[in-house]
Amino acid sequence: MKILLLEDEEAIRGFITINLKRSGMTVSEADTGERALALVEQGGPFDIALLDVMLPTISGFDVCRQLRERFPHMGIIMLTAKAQEEDKIHGLELGADDYVQKPFSPGELIARIRSLYRRMGAFHSPQTESNDSSVDIRDHESIQLPSELRSGPFRLLIQERRFYKNEVEIVLTPTEWSLVKLLMEREGEGVSRNEILTEIWGRYYTGELKVVDVNIRRIRQKIEPNAADPKFLETIWGFGYRWKRGKDE
């Protein structure tokens, strides 16, 4: 797994790098946003980018926006020392998949990275990820899995990890794709925010429910004729969300 680490404090950067390498990850370090973008130009794209928010020149938010525009399938986790909710929401709205608030333990960060890696459709070998709950792809050979999901004008290809509306592809981030898949699999059924959080981010996720709402809002902006009046991705107030078939357009 190739990791891009953007962190301007040398001590923190070194601490994170040591622990990620111990977990079998390859890490490229950057202390400025400019350096991070240069590393992507030279050797990218990476699997996952870890981006500190507060930087001396261009911010982690700016780097997140540029990476998401260029690499929609890259995993992005924001590292922030700020507790303000607006900072978390801003990062998610720019396309980040998750955020980890400082101070954090190496175990928490690695768990978030692995959870996101699974959402990206990657499979880890038992030899290198013995404590990881993901499944080797060979285990699926004897299991008959659907190759696609259909709902109204939408078609989601499982193996190719592609999503279409009226046969026009809609590019989704790894987290958005996993969310759409979960809700389409349970079309017409209300799914609570807590259940979505557990299914997509993992049982031991320590973040807030707001991460679900922001991702839903991003998906609506991509699939709905009018995101303010959704007809496919319905809110069940005080509970969660429901995928409705809607009408072909």
The pLDDT score that the predictor gives to residue 10 is 93
Tell me what the mean pLDDT of segment 61-81 comes to. Answer: 91
Task: Give the chain's domains with CATH numbers.
Answer: 2-124 (3.40.50.2300), 148-243 (1.10.10.10)
Sorted by sequence, the CB contacts under 8 Å of residue 95 that are 6+ apart come out as: 64, 65, 67, 68, 72, 76, 173, 218
Question: If you average pLDDT over every residue of the chain, what do you get?
Answer: 85
Q: What is the pLDDT of residues 127-180, one digit of tens each?
A: 333 344 333 433 434 445 568 899 999 999 988 889 999 999 999 998 999 999
Tell me what the mean pLDDT of segment 55-80 comes to. Answer: 91
Nearest CA to 132 out of 145, 123, 140, 141 is that of 123
Strand (E) or helix (H) holding 240? strand 240-243
The pLDDT score that the predictor gives to residue 246 is 63
Task: Tell me which range, 79-93, 201-215, 225-239, is most confidently predicted by mean pLDDT.
Answer: 225-239
Q: What is the pLDDT of residues 196-226, one digit of tens each?
A: 999 988 876 767 788 899 999 999 999 999 9
